[in-house]
Protein backbone atom coordinates (compact mmCIF):
# COMPACT_ATOMS: atom_id res chain seq x y z
CA UNK A 1 0.00 0.00 0.00
CA UNK A 2 1.38 3.42 -0.94
CA UNK A 3 1.81 5.62 2.11
CA UNK A 4 0.69 9.23 2.40
CA UNK A 5 2.50 12.33 3.59
CA UNK A 6 5.75 12.11 1.66
CA UNK A 7 7.53 14.13 -1.00
CA UNK A 8 10.01 13.21 -3.69
CA UNK A 9 13.50 14.64 -3.28
CA UNK A 10 16.45 14.16 -5.65
CA UNK A 11 16.28 11.10 -7.91
CA UNK A 12 14.48 8.31 -6.08
CA UNK A 13 15.07 9.80 -2.62
CA UNK A 14 11.93 10.59 -0.70
CA UNK A 15 11.09 12.34 2.53
CA UNK A 16 8.37 11.06 4.82
CA UNK A 17 6.49 13.89 6.53
CA UNK A 18 4.20 11.84 8.74
CA UNK A 19 6.10 12.46 11.94
CA UNK A 20 8.67 15.05 13.08
CA UNK A 21 11.59 12.75 12.26
CA UNK A 22 10.90 13.64 8.60
CA UNK A 23 13.08 10.72 7.49
CA UNK A 24 14.99 11.13 4.21
CA UNK A 25 14.96 7.68 2.60
CA UNK A 26 17.07 6.37 -0.24
CA UNK A 27 15.67 3.62 -2.43
CA UNK A 28 15.34 0.47 -0.31
CA UNK A 29 15.63 2.26 3.05
CA UNK A 30 13.07 2.10 5.86
CA UNK A 31 12.27 4.93 8.25
CA UNK A 32 13.05 5.12 11.96
CA UNK A 33 9.65 3.51 12.58
CA UNK A 34 10.76 0.41 10.55
CA UNK A 35 7.41 0.14 8.78
CA UNK A 36 7.56 2.79 6.04
CA UNK A 37 9.92 2.04 3.17
CA UNK A 38 11.12 3.68 -0.02
CA UNK A 39 10.66 1.25 -2.90
CA UNK A 40 11.68 2.73 -6.24
CA UNK A 41 10.73 6.25 -5.19
CA UNK A 42 7.34 5.26 -3.70
CA UNK A 43 6.80 5.30 0.07
CA UNK A 44 5.13 2.09 1.17
CA UNK A 45 3.19 1.48 4.37
CA UNK A 46 4.46 -2.03 5.00
CA UNK A 47 2.20 -2.73 7.97
CA UNK A 48 -1.04 -1.82 6.17
CA UNK A 49 -3.61 -4.49 7.07
CA UNK A 50 -1.11 -6.44 9.20
CA UNK A 51 -2.53 -7.00 12.68
CA UNK A 52 -0.67 -8.45 15.65
CA UNK A 53 -3.30 -7.98 18.40
CA UNK A 54 -7.08 -7.75 18.36
CA UNK A 55 -8.89 -7.91 21.71
CA UNK A 56 -11.96 -6.61 23.45
CA UNK A 57 -10.57 -4.54 26.35
CA UNK A 58 -12.11 -2.45 29.12
CA UNK A 59 -11.75 1.20 28.13
CA UNK A 60 -10.08 1.80 31.50
CA UNK A 61 -7.11 -0.20 30.16
CA UNK A 62 -6.27 2.43 27.49
CA UNK A 63 -6.31 4.25 30.03
CA UNK A 64 -9.43 6.39 29.60
CA UNK A 65 -11.38 7.02 32.80
CA UNK A 66 -13.69 9.83 31.65
CA UNK A 67 -14.87 8.40 28.35
CA UNK A 68 -17.76 5.96 28.60
CA UNK A 69 -16.50 4.44 31.87
CA UNK A 70 -17.18 0.73 32.24
CA UNK A 71 -17.52 0.04 28.51
CA UNK A 72 -15.45 -2.36 26.37
CA UNK A 73 -13.69 -1.48 23.14
CA UNK A 74 -12.23 -3.61 20.36
CA UNK A 75 -8.50 -2.85 20.44
CA UNK A 76 -6.20 -3.35 17.50
CA UNK A 77 -2.46 -2.97 16.91
CA UNK A 78 0.41 -3.83 14.62
CA UNK A 79 4.22 -3.57 14.65
CA UNK A 80 6.48 -0.51 14.54
CA UNK A 81 6.96 2.76 16.38
CA UNK A 82 8.60 6.10 15.63
CA UNK A 83 10.02 6.25 19.16
CA UNK A 84 12.63 3.91 20.61
CA UNK A 85 11.77 4.11 24.31
CA UNK A 86 14.26 2.19 26.42
CA UNK A 87 11.42 1.39 28.82
CA UNK A 88 8.80 0.25 26.26
CA UNK A 89 6.42 -2.30 27.75
CA UNK A 90 5.42 -3.53 24.28
CA UNK A 91 8.90 -3.59 22.75
CA UNK A 92 8.39 -7.02 21.15
CA UNK A 93 5.89 -5.44 18.72
CA UNK A 94 7.00 -1.79 18.71
CA UNK A 95 10.70 -2.37 18.01
CA UNK A 96 10.37 -4.75 15.10
CA UNK A 97 9.17 -4.78 11.51
CA UNK A 98 6.77 -6.74 9.33
CA UNK A 99 9.45 -9.13 8.03
CA UNK A 100 10.82 -10.09 11.45
CA UNK A 101 7.50 -10.55 13.25
CA UNK A 102 5.91 -13.86 12.22
CA UNK A 103 2.56 -13.54 14.01
CA UNK A 104 0.85 -10.89 11.87
CA UNK A 105 -2.57 -11.65 10.38
CA UNK A 106 -4.12 -9.91 7.38
CA UNK A 107 -7.34 -7.94 7.83
CA UNK A 108 -9.23 -5.44 5.71
CA UNK A 109 -10.65 -2.24 7.27
CA UNK A 110 -14.18 -3.54 6.58
CA UNK A 111 -13.54 -6.85 8.36
CA UNK A 112 -12.35 -5.06 11.52
CA UNK A 113 -15.35 -2.72 11.49
CA UNK A 114 -17.70 -5.68 10.97
CA UNK A 115 -16.12 -7.45 13.93
CA UNK A 116 -16.43 -4.34 16.11
CA UNK A 117 -20.06 -3.84 15.13
CA UNK A 118 -20.90 -7.49 15.89
CA UNK A 119 -19.60 -7.33 19.50
CA UNK A 120 -22.56 -6.67 21.79
CA UNK A 121 -22.07 -3.52 23.85
CA UNK A 122 -18.79 -2.62 22.14
CA UNK A 123 -18.06 1.11 22.06
CA UNK A 124 -15.94 1.09 18.91
CA UNK A 125 -12.31 0.62 17.94
CA UNK A 126 -9.15 1.59 19.82
CA UNK A 127 -5.87 1.91 17.89
CA UNK A 128 -3.30 0.90 20.47
CA UNK A 129 -0.61 -1.60 21.63
CA UNK A 130 2.06 -0.15 19.31
CA UNK A 131 2.14 3.47 18.07
CA UNK A 132 -0.91 3.72 15.81
CA UNK A 133 0.16 6.84 13.90
CA UNK A 134 2.83 4.79 12.06
CA UNK A 135 -0.16 2.79 10.76
CA UNK A 136 -1.75 6.00 9.58
CA UNK A 137 -3.32 4.83 6.33
CA UNK A 138 -4.84 1.64 7.74
CA UNK A 139 -6.05 3.39 10.90
CA UNK A 140 -7.66 6.17 8.85
CA UNK A 141 -9.36 3.70 6.49
CA UNK A 142 -10.81 1.76 9.45
CA UNK A 143 -11.79 4.94 11.29
CA UNK A 144 -13.70 6.33 8.28
CA UNK A 145 -15.70 3.11 8.00
CA UNK A 146 -16.23 2.93 11.76
CA UNK A 147 -17.81 6.39 11.69
CA UNK A 148 -20.23 5.23 8.98
CA UNK A 149 -21.11 2.25 11.23
CA UNK A 150 -21.81 4.54 14.21
CA UNK A 151 -18.76 3.39 16.19
CA UNK A 152 -16.31 5.45 18.25
CA UNK A 153 -12.60 5.69 17.40
CA UNK A 154 -9.93 5.99 20.08
CA UNK A 155 -6.20 6.55 19.61
CA UNK A 156 -3.57 5.70 22.22
CA UNK A 157 -0.50 7.59 21.05
CA UNK A 158 2.86 9.15 21.88
CA UNK A 159 1.69 12.34 20.13
CA UNK A 160 4.83 12.47 17.96
CA UNK A 161 3.09 13.30 14.69
CA UNK A 162 3.30 16.27 12.33
CA UNK A 163 0.53 18.90 12.45
CA UNK A 164 -1.06 18.22 9.03
CA UNK A 165 -1.67 14.47 9.47
CA UNK A 166 -2.88 15.10 13.02
CA UNK A 167 -5.34 17.73 11.83
CA UNK A 168 -6.66 15.34 9.20
CA UNK A 169 -7.04 12.57 11.79
CA UNK A 170 -8.84 14.55 14.49
CA UNK A 171 -12.28 14.70 12.82
CA UNK A 172 -12.56 10.88 12.78
CA UNK A 173 -11.15 10.26 16.27
CA UNK A 174 -13.45 10.73 19.26
CA UNK A 175 -10.95 10.34 22.09
CA UNK A 176 -7.18 10.54 22.49
CA UNK A 177 -5.03 8.98 25.18
CA UNK A 178 -1.63 10.67 24.88
CA UNK A 179 1.62 9.83 26.69
CA UNK A 180 3.58 12.75 28.03
CA UNK A 181 6.68 10.86 29.04
CA UNK A 182 8.61 13.65 30.73
CA UNK A 183 9.06 17.40 30.56
CA UNK A 184 12.65 17.75 29.39
CA UNK A 185 14.13 17.53 25.92
CA UNK A 186 17.06 15.60 27.43
CA UNK A 187 14.74 12.77 28.57
CA UNK A 188 13.00 12.56 25.20
CA UNK A 189 16.34 12.55 23.37
CA UNK A 190 18.18 10.05 25.56
CA UNK A 191 15.39 7.65 26.48
CA UNK A 192 13.01 7.82 23.50
CA UNK A 193 15.18 9.01 20.57
CA UNK A 194 12.70 11.77 19.80
CA UNK A 195 11.82 15.22 21.12
CA UNK A 196 9.32 16.82 23.47
CA UNK A 197 8.26 19.99 21.60
CA UNK A 198 6.17 18.29 18.87
CA UNK A 199 4.30 16.27 21.53
CA UNK A 200 3.35 19.47 23.34
CA UNK A 201 2.12 20.95 20.05
CA UNK A 202 0.00 17.84 19.40
CA UNK A 203 -1.52 18.10 22.86
CA UNK A 204 -2.45 21.76 22.28
CA UNK A 205 -3.97 20.91 18.88
CA UNK A 206 -6.07 18.08 20.33
CA UNK A 207 -7.20 20.26 23.23
CA UNK A 208 -8.21 23.03 20.81
CA UNK A 209 -10.45 20.51 19.00
CA UNK A 210 -13.62 19.26 20.68
CA UNK A 211 -12.16 15.77 21.07
CA UNK A 212 -11.83 13.98 24.38
CA UNK A 213 -8.27 13.99 25.77
CA UNK A 214 -6.59 12.14 28.63
CA UNK A 215 -2.87 11.93 29.34
CA UNK A 216 -0.51 9.42 30.89
CA UNK A 217 2.85 9.98 32.54
CA UNK A 218 4.96 6.92 33.38
CA UNK A 219 6.95 7.81 36.49
CA UNK A 220 10.44 6.25 36.32
CA UNK A 221 12.73 6.46 39.36
CA UNK A 222 15.89 8.53 38.73
CA UNK A 223 14.80 9.40 35.18
CA UNK A 224 11.75 11.69 35.31
CA UNK A 225 11.06 11.97 39.04
CA UNK A 226 12.59 15.41 39.51
CA UNK A 227 9.98 17.35 41.46
CA UNK A 228 10.86 20.68 39.86
CA UNK A 229 10.44 19.31 36.33
CA UNK A 230 7.21 17.56 37.32
CA UNK A 231 5.80 20.80 38.72
CA UNK A 232 6.72 22.55 35.47
CA UNK A 233 4.82 19.85 33.59
CA UNK A 234 1.78 20.30 35.83
CA UNK A 235 1.91 24.10 35.40
CA UNK A 236 2.05 23.67 31.62
CA UNK A 237 -0.91 21.27 31.57
CA UNK A 238 -2.89 23.58 33.85
CA UNK A 239 -2.16 26.65 31.73
CA UNK A 240 -2.23 25.22 28.20
CA UNK A 241 -4.76 22.38 28.50
CA UNK A 242 -6.75 23.38 31.57
CA UNK A 243 -7.16 22.10 35.14
CA UNK A 244 -9.90 19.64 34.05
CA UNK A 245 -7.35 17.66 32.00
CA UNK A 246 -7.35 14.03 33.11
CA UNK A 247 -3.90 12.75 34.06
CA UNK A 248 -2.89 9.15 34.78
CA UNK A 249 0.39 8.70 36.64
CA UNK A 250 1.56 5.19 35.95
CA UNK A 251 3.96 2.94 37.85
CA UNK A 252 7.12 1.81 36.07
CA UNK A 253 8.28 -1.80 36.16
CA UNK A 254 11.69 -2.84 34.81
CA UNK A 255 11.41 -3.86 31.18
CA UNK A 256 13.30 -3.90 27.87
CA UNK A 257 16.51 -1.85 28.30
CA UNK A 258 15.67 -0.18 31.60
CA UNK A 259 16.46 -2.32 34.63
CA UNK A 260 15.71 0.22 37.38
CA UNK A 261 13.61 -0.91 40.31
CA UNK A 262 9.86 -0.44 40.05
CA UNK A 263 8.57 2.97 41.11
CA UNK A 264 7.99 2.93 44.89
CA UNK A 265 4.30 3.42 45.66
CA UNK A 266 5.30 6.16 48.13
CA UNK A 267 6.81 8.15 45.24
CA UNK A 268 3.66 7.71 43.15
CA UNK A 269 1.52 8.94 46.02
CA UNK A 270 3.79 11.97 46.50
CA UNK A 271 3.55 12.92 42.80
CA UNK A 272 -0.19 12.23 42.86
CA UNK A 273 -0.55 14.85 45.63
CA UNK A 274 1.60 17.34 43.70
CA UNK A 275 -0.45 16.83 40.53
CA UNK A 276 -3.67 17.39 42.50
CA UNK A 277 -2.42 20.89 43.37
CA UNK A 278 -2.76 21.74 39.65
CA UNK A 279 -5.39 19.37 38.23
CA UNK A 280 -8.85 18.19 39.30
CA UNK A 281 -8.66 14.64 37.95
CA UNK A 282 -5.50 12.65 38.68
CA UNK A 283 -5.27 8.85 38.80
CA UNK A 284 -2.65 6.23 39.64
CA UNK A 285 -2.06 3.30 37.30
CA UNK A 286 -0.30 -0.08 37.71
CA UNK A 287 -0.60 0.11 41.52
CA UNK A 288 -1.59 -2.77 43.77
CA UNK A 289 -4.16 -0.87 45.81
CA UNK A 290 -7.23 0.94 44.53
CA UNK A 291 -5.86 4.28 45.79
CA UNK A 292 -6.00 6.94 43.13
CA UNK A 293 -8.57 5.07 41.05
CA UNK A 294 -11.88 6.72 41.98
CA UNK A 295 -13.35 9.97 40.67
CA UNK A 296 -14.54 12.61 43.13
CA UNK A 297 -16.39 15.86 42.53
CA UNK A 298 -13.79 18.66 42.68
CA UNK A 299 -16.39 20.99 44.19
CA UNK A 300 -18.09 18.96 46.97
CA UNK A 301 -15.91 15.81 47.21
CA UNK A 302 -18.80 13.41 46.40
CA UNK A 303 -17.77 9.98 45.02
CA UNK A 304 -18.72 9.99 41.32
CA UNK A 305 -17.13 6.86 39.83
CA UNK A 306 -15.65 3.97 41.80
CA UNK A 307 -13.16 1.54 40.26
CA UNK A 308 -11.85 -1.73 41.58
CA UNK A 309 -9.67 -3.69 39.18
CA UNK A 310 -11.58 -3.27 35.93
CA UNK A 311 -14.93 -3.15 37.70
CA UNK A 312 -16.35 0.36 37.30
CA UNK A 313 -19.45 1.75 38.99
CA UNK A 314 -21.07 5.11 38.25
CA UNK A 315 -21.73 5.85 41.89
CA UNK A 316 -22.66 9.51 42.05
CA UNK A 317 -23.23 10.90 38.55
CA UNK A 318 -26.43 12.14 37.01
CA UNK A 319 -25.56 12.18 33.31
CA UNK A 320 -22.36 14.27 33.36
CA UNK A 321 -23.08 16.13 36.58
CA UNK A 322 -22.36 15.49 40.23
CA UNK A 323 -25.54 13.97 41.68
CA UNK A 324 -24.99 15.84 44.97
CA UNK A 325 -24.08 19.42 44.01
CA UNK A 326 -24.77 19.54 40.25
CA UNK A 327 -21.19 20.43 39.29
CA UNK A 328 -20.52 19.72 35.56
CA UNK A 329 -17.95 16.93 35.27
CA UNK A 330 -15.82 16.48 32.11
CA UNK A 331 -16.93 12.89 31.55
CA UNK A 332 -18.66 11.32 28.55
CA UNK A 333 -21.31 8.83 29.67
CA UNK A 334 -24.20 6.99 28.12
CA UNK A 335 -27.17 9.25 28.75
CA UNK A 336 -30.21 7.60 30.36
S1 LIG B 1 6.60 7.93 10.19
FE2 LIG B 1 8.42 6.61 10.10
S3 LIG B 1 9.34 6.99 8.10
FE4 LIG B 1 7.88 8.63 8.47
S5 LIG B 1 9.11 10.30 9.35
FE6 LIG B 1 8.28 9.13 11.07
S7 LIG B 1 9.80 7.58 11.57
FE8 LIG B 1 10.32 8.41 9.54
Above 90 in pLDDT, residue 290?
Answer: no
- Report the nearest atom of ligand 1 relative to the CA of 36: 3
CA 248 – ligand 1 centroid, Å:
28
- Report the nearest atom of ligand 1 relative to the CA of 30: 3
- Nearest-CA residue for atom 4 of ligand 1: 16
Write out pLDDT tens, residues 24-72.
999 999 999 999 999 999 999 999 999 999 999 999 999 999 999 999 9
Write out pLDDT tens, residues 126-177.
999 999 999 999 999 999 999 999 999 999 999 999 999 999 999 999 999 9
The ligand 1 site (C-beta within 6 Å) comprises 16, 18-19, 21-23, 31-33, 36, 82, 134
- Report the nearest atom of ligand 1 relative to the CA of 134: 1
Q: What is the pLDDT of residue 336?
A: 56
Q: What is the pLDDT of residue 335?
A: 64
Number of CB atoms found within 10 A of residue 117's CB? 16
Write out pLDDT tens, residues 84-133.
999 999 999 999 999 999 999 999 999 999 999 999 999 999 999 999 99
Cβ atoms 297, 248 nearer than 8 A: no
CA 21 – ligand 1 centroid, Å:
6
Q: What is d(CA 8, CA 14) in angstroms, rounded to the nearest whole number?
A: 4
CA 90 – ligand 1 centroid, Å:
19
Give the mutation target among 18, 22, 83, 97 for probing the ligand 1 site: most ligand atoms within 8 A of CB: 18
- Report the nearest atom of ligand 1 relative to the CA of 21: 5
Cβ atoms 174, 212 nearer than 8 A: yes
Amino acid sequence: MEARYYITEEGQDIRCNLCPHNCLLKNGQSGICRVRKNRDGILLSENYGKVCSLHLDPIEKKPLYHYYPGRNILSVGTVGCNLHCRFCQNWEISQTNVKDYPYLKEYSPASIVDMAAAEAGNLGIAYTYNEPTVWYEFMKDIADKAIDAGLNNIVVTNGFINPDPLKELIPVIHAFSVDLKAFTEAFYKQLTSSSLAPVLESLKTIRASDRHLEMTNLLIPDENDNEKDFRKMMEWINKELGPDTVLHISRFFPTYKLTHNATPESLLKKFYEIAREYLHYVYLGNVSSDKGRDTYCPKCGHLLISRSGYHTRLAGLEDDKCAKCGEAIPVVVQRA
